Amino acid sequence: MNYLDFKKIQDALNDTYRTLQNEIGEELDPLKSIVQAKNDLLHAMSHSTSIDVDFLRYKSE
């Protein structure tokens, strides 16, 4: 996987999270799972690119 693949996955997770949060209006277990998946993705990106997780988190916001 390259950075663009990770970026597409991250964008999909962000869009899904925002949509569910807007529809539901509160945090539920599926949203927590999406947050965990996003964190796992950032750690995988960090590991594969040697870029600090905090920097990736900052750039993804």
HEC assignment per residue over 10-24: HHHHHHHHHHHHHHH
Task: Please say whether the beta carbons of 3 and 45 come within 8 A.
Answer: yes
- pTM beyond 0.75: no
User: Is 34 a residue whose pLDDT tops 80?
Assistant: no
User: Is 8 a residue whose pLDDT tops 70?
Assistant: yes
Other CB atoms closer than 10 Å to residue 13's CB: what's the count?
Answer: 18
State the pLDDT at residue 32.
75
Question: Under 8 Å CB-to-CB from 1, ≥6 apart: which residues?
Answer: 48
Using CB atoms within 10 Å of the CB of residue 19, give its burial: 0 to 12 exposed, 13 to 18 middle, 19+ buried: exposed
